[in-house]
Chains A and B, each alone.
Chain A
Amino acid sequence: MSRELFALILLLAPVGCGSDAEPTDPTAPTATPQTPTDPPPTVVPSFAPHVRFKGGAVYANDLARGLELDRDEVCLELGVSDCATEVHKVALGGVDPYDGGVYKPLPEAPVTAPIALDRIAVSACSLRAERDFAAPSSAAFYGALAQGDTSTEARGSVVMALYDRLLLRNPTTAELEAVVGLYDELDGDELPRRWSKLACIAIATTTEAAFY
């Protein structure tokens, strides 16, 4: 990985935000922060970066925890086989020692890896949005939008929450504005529902969400 790419990831890496939430258990979310955090004008890149792909299993675990889904429902091909640990396991850095003789992760990610990663994110984000829009009163993220509030503030709260849960940091001002503004670039039916899915997918498929 180039120093420049690593610098970008550093720029976007979690920053101390001083959340007011009381940590309770390891899976408990913090209270959604309300203001973006901007990076300093200069960044000191790593001298020896060891940035690594999370792998399909960890990535799916993180989506499940971040989006408050059961791990088993994050992504199932044909409604049966887990995307991360069965169908796309080898493409996403896993092994298949017993049947395929793949004893170690592939040295290079295959061309299907990003497609498989997108597949998992689309599945998980869609499920979260559909569930929230079906039961707005108990929604995890999209309750306000599901009840008709599509204001900039409502969308901003969603973006702040998604960054908090998926990337473990606050968005920068530019990121916040970009994702909130995505709503205005869409047209067609069911804009709140579609924006909710797309906002989640946009954040969940960043380099930062897939690497550590």
Chain B
Amino acid sequence: MTQPRPTRRRRATGWLALAAGLTVSADAWSIPQATEGLCDVYADTRLCLSGPVSCDTCHLGGPPALNPYGEALHGELPTDAEKDPEVFLSALEDALRATEGYDSDGDGISNLEEIQAGSKPGDAASVPAPPGTCSQEESDVASLPEHGYDTCRTDYAYLLRKVTIDFCGHSPSRADLDAIRTAEDPDGLVDETLKACLDSEHWMGKDGVLWNLANDKIRPIAALKAGDDPGPIPLGDYEDDYALYVYSMIDDHDVREQLTAQFFVKRVDGTQTTYELTNGSPTFFPLTALQTIPREQRVGLLSTRWFLVFFTMFTPIPRTSAAQAYRSYLGFDIAKMEGLQPVNGEPVDYDLKDVQADACAVCHATLDPLSYPFTRYNGLGGGPKYDEDRMDGFTATEGPQIANTPEAGVLLGEPVADLVDWGRVAANSDAFAQNVVRDFWVHLVGDAPTPDEAEAFERLWQDLQVRHTYSVEAMLHDLIRTEAYSVP
């Protein structure tokens, strides 16, 4: 099929636009609404299946430089669009429609086809995956016993081997592989194996698979550890955080407890590691390991001693804490301009950090209202505690206006009264379910879902929310049956 290409005149205009794009200031082309605006128009396409697109859909890596697709859009937008987000958004759909027939990146596939298939229309290296179907002849050859794995459909020996390695930490025996090849119910055998391996130390023990999935969320530092094996400056025991994280993903527990739990979890070592729920602090001595937040103010992993002393520290408005929570549990890295949902009237700049400057406000209009619910939780300097008057303690150093910082904020466009509300809204969001499934998909498949795998990914996180009532173990029984995992 012949792909429509920009005309010579349009290409010339595009190059001029690119040159202009390279010379404008970063803030002028930092239009965070664009990532959502594009997906408002293309909501049902694979490109937008996991939420707003990334900046590099239109930019060369990141703003301000435009890639060929951004360049084409720029050529269709009114000249004042780059200065005024409202003008930009109102003209965006027409510009998108006007460029649908182009092949901006010259890879032989039109922009619209790429968007529908989930590849990037401004990156020639990003193209829709070829359809993974076998011909009848290939299917016949692949199913021969001497072929090894059957590459045309789910191969149960392959699946059993992957499940045993991934969840139990070792390969199956030859006898196991031979048995499943002749089993009447290979599906049942795989299920039994997965069920057994989900209780293995490799999977749920200390330093096991689940534990290590939390490393980047908890960010432990041995030198600051309290409790067992303390470091030289014991400030908190992050093993409480790991225990809650693992607990939320075993035995059909509700994974949302990561952000809603008002209890703690104690790890009990033994031949088989177990995790016990406790309403009080898992440890009472030394005091540096004591969990001190009252039950009604607890917000799962967002109010543990470690989270508060390590991420909030002495900060009046703990933007680092909010950004870490947003990144870890909802998958939005504000530093990469992900998940920007600016709030009208923000940022107010209660701590006089000049966040209203154009280059700063791009992110802080989202980040600051995201952070306000964290302001009543103290970290260092007085120890972890909930204090509704906490901001009064900063007037001497930050000025009297700091006391006006509200506890209420906005998360994902929804007002939240406090951090408990923040945790509830976050845990019930699509972004949270997507992030949970994405963590396991990346771990078990090896890469983030490709455009061809987007449909299976979407089904998994939607089922996690409803059919599996937020049970990770139930979700995993489905994940291992996806084509990405079970077909060699």
Q: Looking across the interface, which residue of chain A has its beta carbon closest to that of B442?
A: A104
The contact of B148 among A11, A22, A97, by CB within 8 Å, is: A11
A98 to B141 alpha-carbon distance, docked (Å): 49
A62 to B168 alpha-carbon distance, docked (Å): 11
Determine if A44 and B181 form an interchain contact, defined as CB atoms under 8 angstroms apart: no
0/1 interface trace, chain A 4-38, chain B, CB 8 Å (1 if under):
00000011111111110111101111100000011
Q: Is A54 part of the binding interface, using a Cβ–Cβ cutoff of 8 Å?
A: yes
Determine if A212 and B169 form an interchain contact, defined as CB atoms under 8 angstroms apart: no
A48 to B134 alpha-carbon distance, docked (Å): 12
A10 to B144 alpha-carbon distance, docked (Å): 12
A44 to B132 alpha-carbon distance, docked (Å): 12
Task: Find residues 183-236 in chain B having any chain A CB closer than 8 Å to their own CB.
Answer: 212, 215-216, 219-222, 225
CB proximity of B309 to chain A, nearest CB, Å = 16
Task: Find residues 398-419 in chain B having any chain A CB closer than 8 Å to their own CB.
Answer: none
Q: Looking across the interface, which residue of chain B has its beta carbon closest to that of A46?
A: B151
CB proximity of A62 to chain B, nearest CB, Å = 5
Chain B residues, Cβ within 8 Å of A104: 215-216
A165 to B149 alpha-carbon distance, docked (Å): 18
The contact of B173 among A23, A43, A49, by CB within 8 Å, is: A23
Q: Is B162 part of the binding interface, using a Cβ–Cβ cutoff of 8 Å?
A: yes
Determine if A46 and B488 form an interchain contact, defined as CB atoms under 8 angstroms apart: yes
Chain B residues, Cβ within 8 Å of A58: 165, 169-171
Determine if A16 and B145 form an interchain contact, defined as CB atoms under 8 angstroms apart: yes
Q: Is B138 part of the binding interface, using a Cβ–Cβ cutoff of 8 Å?
A: yes
Q: Is A57 part of the binding interface, using a Cβ–Cβ cutoff of 8 Å?
A: yes
Determine if A97 and B173 form an interchain contact, defined as CB atoms under 8 angstroms apart: no
Determine if B134 and A95 form an interchain contact, defined as CB atoms under 8 angstroms apart: no
Determine if B169 and A26 form an interchain contact, defined as CB atoms under 8 angstroms apart: no
0/1 interface trace, chain A 64-98, chain B, CB 8 Å (1 if under):
01000000000000000000000000000001011
Task: Find residues 99-141 in chain B having any chain A CB closer than 8 Å to their own CB.
Answer: 129-130, 132-134, 138-139, 141
Known: A30-B178, A48-B487. A14 touches B148 (CB 8 A): yes
Determine if B487 and A46 form an interchain contact, defined as CB atoms under 8 angstroms apart: yes
Chain B residues, Cβ within 8 Å of A40: 141, 144, 146-147
Determine if B179 and A23 form an interchain contact, defined as CB atoms under 8 angstroms apart: yes
Q: Is A116 part of the binding interface, using a Cβ–Cβ cutoff of 8 Å?
A: no
Chain A residues, Cβ within 8 Å of B334: none
Determine if B146 and A15 form an interchain contact, defined as CB atoms under 8 angstroms apart: yes
Q: Is A187 part of the binding interface, using a Cβ–Cβ cutoff of 8 Å?
A: no
Identify whether the interface residues of A are mostly helix, strand, loop, or mixed. Answer: loop
Determine if A212 and B162 form an interchain contact, defined as CB atoms under 8 angstroms apart: yes
A14 to B148 alpha-carbon distance, docked (Å): 5
Q: Is B275 part of the binding interface, using a Cβ–Cβ cutoff of 8 Å?
A: no
Q: Is A136 part of the binding interface, using a Cβ–Cβ cutoff of 8 Å?
A: no
Chain A residues, Cβ within 8 Å of B81: none
Determine if A44 and B138 form an interchain contact, defined as CB atoms under 8 angstroms apart: yes
Determine if B215 and A61 form an interchain contact, defined as CB atoms under 8 angstroms apart: no
Task: Find residues 321-370 in chain B having any chain A CB closer than 8 Å to their own CB.
Answer: none
Known: A23-B179, A50-B485. A38 touches B172 (CB 8 A): no
CB proximity of A81 to chain B, nearest CB, Å = 16
A52 to B171 alpha-carbon distance, docked (Å): 13
Determine if A103 and B171 form an interchain contact, defined as CB atoms under 8 angstroms apart: no
Determine if B174 and A97 form an interchain contact, defined as CB atoms under 8 angstroms apart: no
Most chain B C-beta atoms within 10 Å of own C-beta, residue among A21, A44, A50: A44
Chain B residues, Cβ within 8 Å of A97: 212, 215, 219-220
Q: Is A184 part of the binding interface, using a Cβ–Cβ cutoff of 8 Å?
A: no
The contact of B147 among A21, A29, A43, A165, by CB within 8 Å, is: A43
Q: Is A110 part of the binding interface, using a Cβ–Cβ cutoff of 8 Å?
A: no
A13 to B212 alpha-carbon distance, docked (Å): 30
CB proximity of B193 to chain A, nearest CB, Å = 9
Determine if A98 and B169 form an interchain contact, defined as CB atoms under 8 angstroms apart: no
A46 to B488 alpha-carbon distance, docked (Å): 6
Q: Is A168 part of the binding interface, using a Cβ–Cβ cutoff of 8 Å?
A: yes
Known: A13-B149, A46-B488. A95 touches B175 (CB 8 A): no
Per CB-CB distance, the 6 closest pairs between chain A and chain B, nearest first, are A47-B132, A23-B175, A13-B148, A103-B215, A98-B222, A61-B170
